[in-house]
Structure 1
Amino acid sequence: MLFFRSDWENVLSNVNCQIISTSKNDIIDAFVLSESSMFVSKRRWILKTCGTTTPLKCLGQLLKLAEANGYNVVADLFYSRKNFTRPEAQITPHQGFTEEVTYLDSIFPNGRSYCLGSMNLECWYLYTFSRSDIKISPQLISDDKNVDSDPDQTIEILMQDLDPETMSIFYKNKFNDANGATVKSGIDTILPTMHIDDFLFDPCGYSMNGINDKGEYMTIHITPENQFSYVSFETNVALSNYRKLINQVINTFKPGKFIVTIFANKCSLAYETMKELEVEYSQGSHWKRTDMQCCNFPSYNLLFAQYSHSEKTGDNL
């Protein structure tokens, strides 16, 4: 596998974002972007964007780059997003989920699209394509193993209506450097094994990537303005129970409401953890689960759950 920074800069030019900083180890490369993050490992490419970027526009160039390096089969593809806060600001091909699906179908004819949650309130869109019947390239893994052989999981926590005092940490007039905000907020304690690469935007806003020696990652992106405060957290750390991690994240940022999604394949420790979120929590909790859905895909299971409460107390689930 031989990719250069210039390759990724060319891919990202289609997205309308730039590379700010990079961190890497023997397993994974991480990029903090002007509009979120990108991660590259032997069998996985992840792009997270925000604002009015156009992530789908990079797919054609990305697939050509992959094929030139011997990666000629897409085993799984996931494109997901929450409903837009300002849909009128988006540009083609992101002016609606129907338009996005049409664009993706032109590249992946057998893809499937879904909407989880309430379509007239908060919802989460997903497009997925899977080729679990194929073998991946021999140079990546032995012929007798398919794409489902390795454990794989992702948990994402999308938070809104954040605590203003906590959000004030992520302004340049509070800290001159990102590390101060990382330590003050407690981000560095969420997954302590992560090597952190962080960035504090001017006048406000924050992004961080974390990677560890096992090739696991975490990423956090923060829009702190009170009118539309938003925090996203994502990691592929393998845990048999994510309840403690979820509690630590929501106690760090103190949202008024949040969405949790968990993807896991059958080989993952997290495959059974979804049952933990299927049950109601104790009556003493101030969190109310307002929605929950589960989906079974050829290679993965997915859980979607949404929570809210009237008092921003930071209570555990």
Structure 2
Amino acid sequence: MTPTATNDEKYCCYRDSVLKGDFVNHELSENLDSTNAFEGPEKLLEIWFAPSGSCLPISWPKRGLRDIPLSGIEHMLSEVNCEIISRVSSQMMDAYLLSESSLFVFAHKLILKTCGRTTTLFSLEPLLKLVRKYCRYEHDLSEIYRVFYSRRTFMFPEKQHDIHKNWPNEIIFLNKYFNQKTSDSYIVGNLSLDHWHFYMNGNDRSLPMLKNGAQENEMPDETLEIMMTGLDPERTDLFEKVNYGAGKDNNEKCEDTGHSFGRQMMQNTGFENIMNLAEGQITKHDSFAFTPCGFSSNTILEDKYYYTIHITPEKGWSYASFETNYPKDDKATTLTKVIGSLQPKTFFFTFVQESGESSDVSINRRSFDSLKSLDLQGYRKDDCIVYDLRFGYQMLYCHFVKSKFN
């Protein structure tokens, strides 16, 4: 898919691109200013229309949601109050870096993560229209396979749009689109401190599905999120543009300073090697440095997995998040690396995991147990909470505080 927005000239090929679908919005990248950024914590919406990309609704095109044109994606994001900075793609997914976090589009599901004063839930109505138009979806959203929505406690809830100012408002809005009778809503953690909100819904009355080519070797679904506050000042300096050189390589006419600095930040922090991958596995990074400070990155792993990092380094409300759906690494090792890179005063992580079958069960169990028993040097664990959820999911929440910080 090539850019089809109103002004195609604002897009340019991505550095080292091997797919025509990779591009940079140069106009936005050069002029984006995050001086007034205030709210790092994101809202995370994940919608599944089918169990996998190899088993789509029978009426759908082979590429599923990826057949929605760029102009449609842009319209949906305009309702959320964010824009596309750049996109990298693989054979199985598109990863959009946004002015406020990230969007991942697969054939069968969409993951939208946005920070600041964005109105994430306002994406539902335009998304439904797009799926009906381009994927020949004939139902409403109450018939979808799965939906998950979550967020951390906001730092400045009074600055949010009314729909996101409190959890009850968000639940009421979600249940306008999804079946209220099957919705599950949780508030997890110490309510006097940082805590986490989580909503899930869906059904197993799946629509008629058509096998889409060879059946994928599907791993059970899982998502690890790490949400950090009070970042170490020496580490946040790495995300200040003023601490870098000229930035733009004159030989790279298609690269702007935001992406050039972003690549340097990715390398200087070690984020480009944060995951333990088998030798020869393909990794594709897209990273961006904001003006005057801040950092976002998307990384595609093995065509169908991702990890994403977002950092708001402003002193007084510094925040960072890490998220991945990669199922093959040692979760405790990855988490330890992330925390070591940013050294936050406080953080919590959530791990939501679907039960597997046959040999996958033992792999899943090891990941869950290693995170649950994690003892991180220099940190005190204040909370460790486990939920058994519907559809065979489990959720783990653990909250940590730096030992020398009270």
Q: TM-score, normalised by structure 1?
A: 0.90
Partner of 2:378: 286
1:86-235 matches, within 5 Å, as 86-108=156-178, 109=180, 110-134=182-206, 137-140=209-212, 150-175=219-244, 176=247, 177-191=261-275, 193-235=282-324
CA distance in structure 2 between the partners assigned to 1:46 and 1:231 by the alignment: 18
AA partner of residue 123 (structure 2): C
Cα distance change on mapping 1:141 and 1:179 into 2, 3 Å = same
Distance 2:401 2:212 in 1: 43
2:86 corresponds to which residue? 21
| CA distance 1:241–1:190, shift in 2 (3 Å) | closer
Secondary structure at the residue paired with 1:246?
helix
Equivalent residue letter for 1:236: N
What is the CA–CA distance in structure 2 between the aligned matches of 1:75 and 1:53, rounded to whole Å? 25
What is the letter of the counterpart of residue 96 of structure 1?
Answer: N
Deviating more after overlay: 183-192 vs 165-174:
183-192
1:279 and 1:217 map into 2 onto residues whose CA distance is 25
Paired letter, 2:68: F
**Partner of residue 345 from structure 2, selected from 238, 252, 256:** 256
CA apart distance, 1:276: 2.2
Residues 129 and 256 of structure 1, relative CA distance in 2, 3 Å threshold? same
Q: How does 1:41-52 map to 2 (within 5 A)?
A: 41-52=106-117
Question: How many Å apart are 1:51 and its aligned residue?
Answer: 0.6
CA distance in 1, matches of 2:293, 2:386: 36
Counterpart for residue 315 of structure 1 = none
**What does the per-residue CA deviation read over 1:41-72, in whole Å, with 9 as the maximum and x for residues that have no partner?**
11221011001100001101112222330445
Deviations 1:245-276 (A, max 9, x none): 11111111111111111111112543442222
| Offset, 1:20 | 0.5
- How far 1:120 sits from its partner (Å)? 2.0
Corresponding position of 2:13: none
Deviation at 1:301, TM superposition (A): 1.1
Secondary structure of the residue that 2:302 maps to in structure 1? coil
Per-residue deviation, residues 214-234 of structure 1 (Å, max 9, x unmatched): 311010000011211111000
Question: Is the contact between residue 68 and residue 131 of structure 2 (CA under 8 Å) also seen in structure 1?
Answer: no
Distance 1:50 1:292, change over 3 A: same
Which structure is larger by alpha-carbon Rg, 1 or 2? 2
Distance in 2 (alpha carbons) for counterparts of 1:32 and 1:242: 24
> Counterpart amino acid of 1:137?
M
CA distance in 2, matches of 1:136, 1:157: 36
SS at match of 1:225: coil
Structure 1 gaps of 5+ residues are: 313-317
What percentage of aligned pairs have identical amino acids? 33
> What secondary structure sits across from 2:163 in the alignment?
coil
Shift of 1:280: 6.2
Deviates more, 1:158-167 or 1:130-139: 130-139
- Residue 3 (structure 2) aligns with: none
Unaligned stretches of 5+ in structure 2? 1-63, 248-260
Distance 1:212 1:199 in 2: 18
Partner in structure 1 of residue 332 of structure 2: 243
Which region of structure 1 is more displaced relative to structure 2, 41-50 or 168-177?
A: 168-177
Post-superposition offset of 1:239: 3.1
Aligned residue for 2:251? Answer: none
1:82 aligns with 2:152: yes
- Structure 2 length as normaliser, TM-score? 0.71
Counterpart contact for 2:92–2:303, Cα < 8 Å: yes
Write out aligned runs for 1:56-67 (5 A).
Answer: 56-67=121-132
CA deviations on 1:137-177 (whole Å, 9 max, x unpaired) are: 225589xx9xxx75211101111111111111111111231
Letter of the 1:270 partner, please give it: N
CA positional deviation for 1:204: 0.6
SS for the counterpart of 1:6 is helix
Q: CA deviation at 1:213?
A: 2.8
Residues 226 and 350 of structure 2 are in contact (CA less than 8 Å); yes or no, is this contact kept in structure 1?
yes
Secondary structure in 2 aligned to 1:195?
strand
CA contact (8 A) 1:153 1:270 kept: no
